[in-house]
Every structure is written in structure tokens, then in C-alpha cells.
Amino acid sequence: MTDYGHDLQFGVFVTPTAQPVQHAVELAVAADRAGLDLVTFQDHPYQPRFHDTWTLLSYAASRTQRVHVSGNVLNLPLRQPAVLARAAASLDLLSGGRFELGIGAGGFWDAIEAMGGRRLSPGQSVQALEEAITIFREIWNPAERGGVRVDGEFYQVRGAKRGPAPAHDIPIWLGAYKPRMLRLIGRKADGWLPSLGYLPGGATELGPLNEVIDEAAVAAGRSPSAVRRLLNVGGQFSAQSTGFLNGPPEQWAEDLAGLTLEYGVSTFILATDDAATLELYAAEVAPATRALVAAAR
């Protein structure tokens, strides 16, 4: 039973399909107009049915006004961290502070290797991600003197110039499920971004996993509330309630408010490729959830 006290945010997780070409962009625009906080795209650079996610994020940000954009989550093994840091700062500046860095250690190693990426073991991928996080933060910090030096096992940066400073403090959110990654989140990340559908036991699994993050944060001298808890969710709107996130908007609001109050989830990212669903989510579920949480806090 943990509520970290964060303000609630609502976003969508859109399939970055390359055909129809503008599908994902149109949904990003719809999310923006509907008043959602966040639009996200998965990143599988080995998948030609999808747009390149970095390109899509930049283009979608240019076509929207207020909504924030993030990978869900970017594929580190196929993206050069120092260049990615500079690109992230650029996109944040161009968009007036609307970029968030959702990033993962990679998971489909056959496909990554097929594209020319380096195959890493689980432990190695966590270390590589930690090195990358250091590079990101150093590049984004021009207030520090001297060039960026990271002599990592997987990534080396030898005196790269710092900057530019992004328009806002870009949070780093990690997709993760295993203890070593969760501890890394507690030590160094700004958010945890799992998918509810990947938790075999459902929402109740969030509790123990949160504890791993919280303990690692405390051990590193950080408050657990320094880590935002995000969650990819899926469901169906229907007139009758038939289960968790399957029912009318008011039931959705109760289900999501429960996740906030019991498990500390504060950003809900709905997987959908349907504009009407997205609009209903923004218009009815988001305000009702906020109201329920505010009343209970």
C-alpha cells in the first residue's frame, strides 16, 4: 500500500505502423487535441512494419502543441547514446520541453544482432544501460566544466562537449521487470515504465516490484518518490462491467484510482490505435480518476 503522491498523467501507447503512413501521427494529434499528457511509441528498429521511432517522435512532436512524447521504450542497443543524448536535447528544445526519455536495455537480441547490433547478456545490458544514463545526464549538463568522460565497458565517451541543456529536466524512464534493472531504476532513474499485460499475476505484482525500487532508492540516498511509476494498460470500453478495465468509463476510473492509491501508479498509458477510445479516455476517464484520487488522498 503505497501512494507516492505524484500528480496523475494520462497517455496513450500507439503502434508506430509505417502503413498507413500517418496513422500514428494522426493519433498523436488526436491525443494532443483531447488534452492527454503523453503519447508514446514502442521502438523496434529491426521491424520494417514500423516507423523508425526516433524519427516518428520528432515528426509527431512537430505536429502537436502540448502533448509530451516518449519512446515506450527506446531501444538502446541500436542507438548510439551520445548522439541520442544530443538528439533528445534538440527535440526537447524544439518542442518547448515536451520530450521524455523512455528507454530500455533491449530484449529481442536475435533481431538486434540481425541489424548489426551487439548481443549482450542480461547482466551486460543492465550495465550498458547504466553507462548510457551517465552519458545522457553528463551531456545534458553544460553547467559542469570539462568534457564528458565515460570509460565504460560498453560505451566510451572521451571528452565530448557538454550540452545543449534541454528545455526541461528530461526524465529517464526505464522499462524493466527483473530485480537488477529495478535496482538500477531505484538508484538512477526517474521513472519505471512496465506493461500491466506483462505481469502474469496482474496488478498485485506491482507491490513487490515497487519495494525493490524503493529499497534501492533509499540505499542510494534517494527518496522512493523520486521515481515516477508509469504503467501501460489495455482494456475495452463497454456498457457492462466484465472485469478489470473492461466496462464503462466510471469503472475504469475506479480501477485506475485503485492502482494509484494501492500501488503508486501515477501515469497511465493506454494501448490503443483507436481515436474514439483515446478521446473517451481523455474526456471521461482521466478527470474522473483525478477526482477519485484527490478525494482519497
Partner 1 sequence: MEFGTSITPANGGDPVALARRSEELGFDLVTFQDHPYQPRFHDTWTLLAWVAGRTERIRLAGNVLNLPLREPAVLARSAASLDLLSGGRLELALGAGGFWDAIEAMGGPRREPREAVEATEEAIEIIRGMLDAGNQTPFRYRGRHYQVPNAQRGPLPAHNIPLWLGALGPRMLRLIGRKADGWLPSLGRVGVDGLRAGNKLIDEAAEAAGRDPSDIRRLVNVTPDVPLEILQTLEADTLILYTDDVSEMERFAAEVMPVLRATNRRPTRPSWVRAKRRDGIDYDGVPASADAVEPGDIDFPRLRSTYLRGGNPGIVLRPRTTGDVVEALAFARRHRNVPLGIRSAGHGVSGRSTNDGGIVLSVARLDHVEIVGDRRIRVGPGARWADIARALAPHGWALTSGDYGGVGVGGLTTAGGIGWLARKHGLTLDHLRSAEVVLASGQVVRVDAAHSPELFWAIRGAGANFGVVTDFEFDVDEVGDVGFAQLAVDGSDPAGVLERFGAAVEAAPRDLTAELIMSRPRPGAYATILAVVDSDDPETIVSQLEPVASIAPLLDQRVVITPYAGVMANAGDADHDGQGEPAARSGLIEHLTPEFSAAAEELLRSGAVHFFQLRSVGGAVADVDPMATAYANRAANFSVTALGGSQHRLDALWDRLLQPHFTGSYLNFDTDRRPERLRDAWPPEHLARLRDLKRRYDPDGLFRDNFYLGDS
Q: Which residues bind partner 1 (CB under 8 A)?
A: 18-22, 25, 45-49, 51-52, 54-56, 58-63, 78-83, 86-87, 89-91, 93-94, 113-116, 135, 139, 142, 147, 155-164
Distance CA 215, CA 224 (A): 8
Choose between 129 and 157: whose C-beta lies nearer to partner 1: 157
State in angstroms the smallest separation of the CB of 56 from partner 1: 6
Please compute Rg for the chain using Cα positions. 19
Choose between 163 and 287: whose C-beta lies nearer to partner 1: 163
Which ranges constitute the DSSP H helices of the chain? 23-34, 53-62, 81-94, 109-114, 122-139, 179-188, 206-219, 249-263, 275-280, 286-296
Choose between 69 and 265: whose C-beta lies nearer to partner 1: 69
Choose between 118 and 222: whose C-beta lies nearer to partner 1: 118
State in angstroms the smallest separation of the CB of 172 from partner 1: 18
Q: Cα 239 vs. chain centroid, distance in angstroms?
A: 31
State in angstroms the smallest separation of the CB of 156 from partner 1: 6
Q: Which uninterrupted H or E stretch holds 74? A: strand 74-75
State in angstroms the smallest separation of the CB of 111 from partner 1: 9
**Cα distance between the two ends of the chain:** 13
State in angstroms the smallest separation of the CB of 163 from partner 1: 3
Choose between 85 and 293: whose C-beta lies nearer to partner 1: 85
Choose between 155 and 192: whose C-beta lies nearer to partner 1: 155
- Which amino acid belongs to residue 96? G
Choose between 160 and 261: whose C-beta lies nearer to partner 1: 160
Cβ pair 209, 230 in contact under 8 A = no
Strands 38-41 and 74-75: unpaired
State in angstroms the smallest separation of the CB of 9 from partner 1: 24
Tell me phi and psi for residue 184, to 5 degrees: -60, -40
Q: Closest Cα partner for 48 from 118, 109, 115, 117?
A: 115
Distance CA 258, CA 203 (A): 10
Cβ pair 244, 208 in contact under 8 A = no
State in angstroms the smallest separation of the CB of 73 from partner 1: 16
Using DSSP, state whether 37 is helix, strand or coil: coil
CA distances from 81 to 76, 133, 172 (A): 7, 8, 13
Choose between 79 and 188: whose C-beta lies nearer to partner 1: 79
State in angstroms the smallest separation of the CB of 159 from partner 1: 4
Cβ pair 248, 237 in contact under 8 A = yes
